[in-house]
Structure 1
Amino acid sequence: MKKLILSTATLALMAGMGVADTVRLGTEGAYPPYNFIDDNGEIAGFERELGDELCKRAELTCEWVTNDWDSIIPNLVSGNYDVIIAGMSITDERDEVIDFTQNYTPPSASAYMAMSADVDLSSAVISAQSATIQAGHVAESGATLVEFATPDETVAAVKNGEVDAVFADEDYVKPIAEQSGGELMLVGDLVPLGGGIGMGLRESDGELREKFNAAIQTMKDDGTLNALITQYFGDEAQTF
């Protein structure tokens, strides 16, 4: 393994703890490849590997919990866990309620997926997961928005004819389309949204946020974050 030159970020990791003995990481567990529950009933995916590595670099003892998406911010604020690491895009609206680390994925695109290439997205009925930037975009687009609590339900609504298309992160819908045998396809243009994905924390947990900021920076500096991104999202994925 290559030796790393000590940077400001590395030195920050060596500072005193001053945070909880065990840091609880909250995720959804239903948004592959970011996070999902594997065959053994364990949290898995890109963010599981990333979170474990960040905790190791920050010298933090961490444990994982799952929480439904629609209450993931309120339950962070109320103290049910300490960090959100759940494919959450950094937005100004969310930043008014919680704090974010620096992004651990670059800003990425969202995509529409349908069962026909002839869908008129300007007037279509479109599903999106509730409380997401995608739902907000559809609501402002002039199309009819139908919100669902889980990502699976948004896709099922397309398959059963309840809606004309689903709008979600390209990283989520593209593999589903590719594995559908032609039943589902991406339609329309990709739409860039958000400022990348970051870890969400309570506004009062500035010291913990900086520990994770420093850990993320070391992964950017030594290339391991880019390697993890391409491992889960492919060689064409946006990297740092």
Structure 2
Amino acid sequence: MFRFSTLRLPRTIILALCVMSAVLFPAPSASAVQGGALRIGVENDYPPFSFPDENGRQSGFDPAVAEALCRAMERPCEILPLPFEELLNAMREGKLDLIIAGLGANGERRAYMDFSESYYHSRTIYIGRPGIRTSPDWMKGRRLGAQIGTLQAVIAERLWKGTAEIVLFRNYDEMLDALCADRLDLVLSDGLPGYEFLRGSRGAAFTMQETELPLDDEINDARIGVRRGVPGLLRAVNQAIREIRLNGEYDRAVRRYFPFSIY
């Protein structure tokens, strides 16, 4: 018969382990578990997806989707606009329950959040002056812009590291400003805000070229980031996405901000 002796650890070690557990595995927010307001992060200035309107209210496709999902889940929501990189940090720190900002589900992000079904589809495009090429010879030494933390930055590294000079920006508008000032040769952009830029007065002098990525590449699926460890939240979000597509709220939001289907 085997006997196991009780291991007694010093109180300082026990306290240290408790602190580490709280940091690495934060408890789900009371709001998320008990049916209170869901804290939903959206990008602060990324038209037409999310931007402050003339009254200072956060508008755009993503806030509209957030509000529709909360109605479908019968939950109040608090919409929190943040720069893209800060959205990811806030989710890591347990300060958000959802991120609605066209996220791609890459391996690094899966380490600290779950992902919903796709809520729209997009394509990554290059934007530059007429005559841009994406051959290795043409790209050699060119300055290629992308936004920090986005899948476009991942694509830039995947396709052009060691060939082009990759310049990363914290803010999408700052990247476009650099392109317009000819401090960049071209940028990688999500197709939908990229088309919005090309349709405006600043984009009139530029053209686009699609990436070589296949249409069915997972990188084209935009998903909602869901806080890990909240019982039933991912399932509820997926059910709500299906519901707003069936009840017409999703299509109304699309028509408000886009001239074509994005699903």
| Partner residue of 2:247 out of 214, 222, 227 | 222
Q: Could you give the per-residue CA deviations for residues 185-220 of structure 1, whole angstroms, max 9, x where no partner exists? A: 233224555152222122112422222111111122
**For the residues of structure 1 that align with 2:198 and 2:46, how far apart are their CA atoms?**
15
- What displacement does 1:30 show? 1.1
Aligned in 2, Cα 1:212/1:182: closer, same or farther, shift over 3 Å?
closer
**For the residues of structure 2 that align with 1:72 and 1:103, how far apart are their CA atoms?**
19
Letter in 1 for 2:123: A
Aligned in 2, Cα 1:44/1:189: closer, same or farther, shift over 3 Å?
same
Are positions 1:109 and 2:123 aligned together?
Answer: yes
| Partner residue of 1:70 out of 85, 103, 107 | 85
Are positions 1:172 and 2:187 aligned together?
Answer: no
Aligned residue for 2:229, secondary structure, equals coil
Q: Equivalent residues in 2 for 1:1-240 (5 A)? A: 18-106=33-121, 108-114=122-128, 116-121=129-134, 122=136, 123=139, 124-142=142-160, 143-180=164-201, 183-190=204-211, 191=213, 192=215, 194-235=219-260, 237-239=261-263
| Structure 1 residue ranges without an equivalent (≥5) | 1-16
Larger Rg: 2
Q: TM-score, normalised by structure 2?
A: 0.76
**For the residues of structure 1 that align with 2:203 and 2:148, how far apart are their CA atoms?**
27
**For the residues of structure 1 that align with 2:248 and 2:151, how far apart are their CA atoms?**
29
Aligned in 2, Cα 1:204/1:171: closer, same or farther, shift over 3 Å?
same
Q: Greater helix percent: which structure?
A: 2
Aligned in 2, Cα 1:102/1:222: closer, same or farther, shift over 3 Å?
same
Identity %: 25
- Give the total of aligned pairs: 220
Q: Which moved more, 1:19-28 or 1:189-198?
A: 189-198
- What displacement does 1:71 show? 2.5
Letter in 2 for 1:238: I
Q: Could you give the per-residue CA deviations for residues 51-106 of structure 1, whole angstroms, max 9, x where no partner exists? A: 11110110101111122211212211212222111222233432232101111113
Aligned residue for 1:31, secondary structure, equals coil
**For the residues of structure 2 that align with 1:182 and 1:195, how far apart are their CA atoms?**
23
Aligned residue for 1:137, secondary structure, equals helix
Letter in 1 for 2:198: A
